[in-house]
Structure 1
Amino acid sequence: MTDRPLRALDDVERLDWLRLARSDNVGPRTFRDLIGLYGGASAALDALPGLTRRGGGRDIRIATRQEAERETAAAARHGVRLVALCEPGYPELLREIAAPPPIIGIGGRAECLGRPMVGLVGSRNASVPGLKMAGLLARGLGLSGFTTVSGLARGIDTAVHQASLASGTVAVLAGGHDRIYPPENQPLVARILETGCVISEMPMGHEPRAKDFPRRNRLIAGLALGVVVVEAAERSGSLITARLALEENREVFAVPGSPLDPRAAGTNRLLKDGAVLVTELDDVESVLRPLLARHGRPLSAEEQDHPMPQAEPGDDERGRVLALLGPVPVTVDDLIRLSGLGVAAVRIIVLELELAGRLIRDSGGRISLA
């Protein structure tokens, strides 16, 4: 990936990006592959029906221009700005992750996203010491110039946001900006918007579902230089955030707790696995300060505007790739190497199969047959 300047989309391009992102079977990785192959969202939209049919699927739902216009208008009514992956206002570290959202909605003070960020997450059913520690760390990090990031959940997340209101905090939503969860945090969101910001990759009107919370957690991990888990049980969603942070080469910190308290079982296990032990603010700052020069890698203008040279794969080539796929996940690089086909041909075949609903991607980007 080259380091070409970012660029702002015009109104027509933004609608095309939104349409592509909201079409069926187009996840973040598929979106980026489509842009890379076809040079832009408009050409990718035109290619979707043919790709899906060649992959063996029926025609998928492609978001209409009217739907994109309605979402844009709804976002504007709520004071939400839609920012694309290729634009300057997109958070730099988030742009680095394996599957960055093509478009995010940002409400409030977007300048908070330009400061170094630290994720602070933990148990919904938090203990009093856990809530106190979360508040102490959040206030201290804010005074030191960091923006805190959390998921607006009950317990530790709420304590983090409340303690960071003076310095600015980022709340990452699992649903749309007009579908705050939990609903009792509506007043807190209003206060966050005054000094910090609220972001979501979900469309306006989207009610959060169970599967949306891990997606939200990947954004928390992706925005931050590191993630501090203050309190977490063995099966806590906060451990998902920690795992995602590790996958994106972020630092992971954990606050120790009593071995007798099940709410600390997850954090204590993180410490056994090598997380940085946190008992005071300096434990976090001393690790993160040397990382402040880190920068994101933008989607280049070259990738945005110029399609990759390609020829439509033949049936023999499709058969060769299909024969290599099965229930065990493999990487696209493995498919390229073992099939003997060119990069563009394999990427097109993978797109065809994915749009047809015949592939599953795991969190590491590996693929298997559905």
Structure 2
Amino acid sequence: MRVAGSARRNGIALTDRQRLAWLRIIRSDNIGPATFRELINHFGSADAALEALPDLSRRGGAARTLKIASIAEAEREIEYAHKFGARFVGIGEPDYPPALRQIDAAPPLIAVKGDLSVASLPAVGVVGARNASISGTKFAAMIARDVGRAGYGIVSGLARGIDTAAHRASLETGTIAALAGGLDQPYPPENLGLLDEMTSGRGLAISEMPFGWEPRARDFPRRNRLIAGMALGVVVIEAAARSGSLITARLAGEFGRLVFAVPGSPLDPRCEGTNRLLKEGATVTTGPQDVLEALAPISQLDLFSSPDVEEPHSDGRAMAPPPSDDDRSRIVEALGPTPVEVDDVIRHTGLSPSAVYLVLLELDIAGRLERHPGGFVSLTSFN
């Protein structure tokens, strides 16, 4: 069974000015993917959003001056990326991984290095234990090799054990390494040679973190999110009860992707997590054919619908004026530490959606709002 080759690419390329502005926004304080999307959708362009940031932060009640990445800082990072052999790709551009752009709060800008054609392949994630057994690494290699030969890209996290086996087995067919730190800060160091093999051949490295960023423990769930987002399905091989691979599996399920688990001995603690996934409904996987047959109905789905973050060619700023202080107070009073749906805030206050979304954006930029999966929001604990 073989899927079609690289899928068609479409999208709109950013201008150099837009790319610089996008990078400035995403590198500024209190701005993540969801906030970035709200800014572009509300103001129409990154340039207009940058101009509005100080006022948004002030109206949101920020305790300190918002740190906005400067033009010089963004230019230095773009120049460094170029010298490193990498570049930045925006969510609406043709080279952005198509499945990743469909997830909630996808990274608006990613740094990539290597063969960009691999990003357009339908992908399968292969993850598991760092201290994998010999049989586990052999099985991971078999899955990656055979699924890769069927036309899928193999996505993993460059970790020891299962990840390493999956990347090596798919070097010729197409493999993607999602990194927790900057592209120039791969982890673990012993896999630097493997990463070089990937990026100089049929492989790709991807990160949403700044160049020079050394990965910390809190960054690996973001790496796992990239893996789950790029893949149509994730195969988990030897995952302990508290394995990071289970985070990848959970995220894949939240994104509507398939989760495959390889059964293991109940006496092996490395298999406790995978066996639990099977109890929870993951697809039993004893060979590559299990993966290929399950993915066949969805591998041809159109993943290239237009993203919801896209700049128009002109910078139109026709928009309603900011809400009054009274309206702003009503919205803040409707919020609390418990996450609520934005639609509930709109119904509760009786204000227009545009007014509510703008005040939420102000609070977000000021560092007073937390965004949760599914469109829920809450006030931060220090409000």
Spell out the pairing of 1:43-82 with structure 2 (5 A cutoff). 43-57=48-62, 58-82=64-88
Spell out the pairing of 1:288-307 with structure 2 (5 A cutoff). 288-294=295-301, 295-299=303-307, 304=312, 306=316
Pair 1:280 & 2:287 matched: yes
Q: Which amino acid aligns with 2:160?
A: R
Check conservation: 1:15, 1:69, Cα contact below 8 A: yes
2:43 aligns with one of 38, 45, 48: 38
Q: Greater CA deviation, 29-38 or 244-253?
A: 244-253
Spell out the pairing of 1:329-348 with structure 2 (5 A cutoff). 329-348=339-358
2:157 aligned residue: 151
Pair 1:25 & 2:30 matched: yes
Displacement after TM superposition at 1:363 (Å): 3.8
Pair 1:111 & 2:111 matched: no
Q: How many correspondences in the alignment? A: 366
1:317 aligns with one of 323, 327, 334: 327
- Provide the rounded CA distance (Å) in 2 between the counterparts of 1:258 and 1:354: 47
Pair 1:8 & 2:8 matched: no
Displacement after TM superposition at 1:297 (Å): 3.0
Displacement after TM superposition at 1:342 (Å): 1.3
Structure 1 residues 234 and 52: alpha-carbon distance in aligned structure 2, compared to 1, 3 A threshold: same
Q: Greater CA deviation, 10-19 or 27-36?
A: 10-19
1:196 aligns with one of 192, 197, 203: 203
- Provide the rounded CA distance (Å) in 2 between the counterparts of 1:177 and 1:81: 10
2:362 aligns with one of 348, 352, 364: 352
Check conservation: 1:37, 1:308, Cα contact below 8 A: no
Structure 1 residues 32 and 12: alpha-carbon distance in aligned structure 2, compared to 1, 3 A threshold: same
User: What secondary structure sits across from 1:227 in the alignment?
Assistant: strand
2:133 aligns with one of 106, 127, 137: 127
- Provide the rounded CA distance (Å) in 1 between the counterparts of 2:322 and 2:189: 49
- Provide the rounded CA distance (Å) in 2 between the counterparts of 1:157 and 1:365: 32
Q: Greater CA deviation, 223-232 or 295-304?
A: 295-304
Displacement after TM superposition at 1:6 (Å): 2.5
Pair 1:263 & 2:273 matched: no
User: What secondary structure sits across from 1:176 in the alignment?
Assistant: coil
Q: Which amino acid aligns with 1:114?
A: S
CA RMSD of aligned residues (A): 1.4
1:246 aligns with one of 243, 248, 253: 253
Displacement after TM superposition at 1:279 (Å): 0.4
Deviations 1:166-216 (A, max 9, x none): 212000011111111101100000111111111111111111111111111
Displacement after TM superposition at 1:298 (Å): 2.2
Spell out the pairing of 1:86-97 with structure 2 (5 A cutoff). 86-97=92-103
Q: Which amino acid aligns with 1:298?
A: S
Deviations 1:27-63 (A, max 9, x none): 0000000000000100000010011111110321000
Q: Greater CA deviation, 43-52 or 359-368?
A: 359-368
TM, length-normalised to structure 1: 0.96
User: What secondary structure sits across from 1:50 in the alignment?
Assistant: helix
Check conservation: 2:156, 2:167, Cα contact below 8 A: yes
Displacement after TM superposition at 1:152 (Å): 0.5
2:142 aligned residue: 136
Runs of at least 5 residues in structure 2 that lack an aligned partner in the other structure: 1-9
Check conservation: 1:308, 1:344, Cα contact below 8 A: no
- Provide the rounded CA distance (Å) in 2 between the counterparts of 1:8 and 1:95: 15
1:167 aligned residue: 173
Q: Which has the higher contact order (CA 8 A, sep 6+)?
A: 1
Check conservation: 1:126, 1:156, Cα contact below 8 A: yes
Displacement after TM superposition at 1:362 (Å): 2.6
Q: Which amino acid aligns with 1:62?
A: I
- Provide the rounded CA distance (Å) in 2 between the counterparts of 1:302 and 1:290: 30
Q: Greater CA deviation, 289-298 or 196-205?
A: 289-298
Q: Which amino acid aligns with 1:289?
A: A
**Which runs of structure 1 show a deviation greater than 6 angstroms over 4 or more consecutive aligned residues?**
none
1:186 aligned residue: 192
Check conservation: 2:252, 2:258, Cα contact below 8 A: yes
1:205 aligned residue: 212
Deviations 1:81-126 (A, max 9, x none): 2111121111111110101111111101000011110001111111
User: What secondary structure sits across from 2:99 in the alignment?
Assistant: helix
2:224 aligns with one of 194, 213, 217: 217
Check conservation: 1:118, 1:224, Cα contact below 8 A: yes
2:238 aligned residue: 231
- Provide the rounded CA distance (Å) in 1 between the counterparts of 2:109 and 2:309: 16
Runs of at least 5 residues in structure 1 that lack an aligned partner in the other structure: none
TM, length-normalised to structure 2: 0.93
Structure 1 residues 281 and 307: alpha-carbon distance in aligned structure 2, compared to 1, 3 A threshold: farther
1:102 aligned residue: 108
Displacement after TM superposition at 1:333 (Å): 2.0
- Provide the rounded CA distance (Å) in 2 between the counterparts of 1:274 and 1:146: 24
Displacement after TM superposition at 1:310 (Å): 2.5
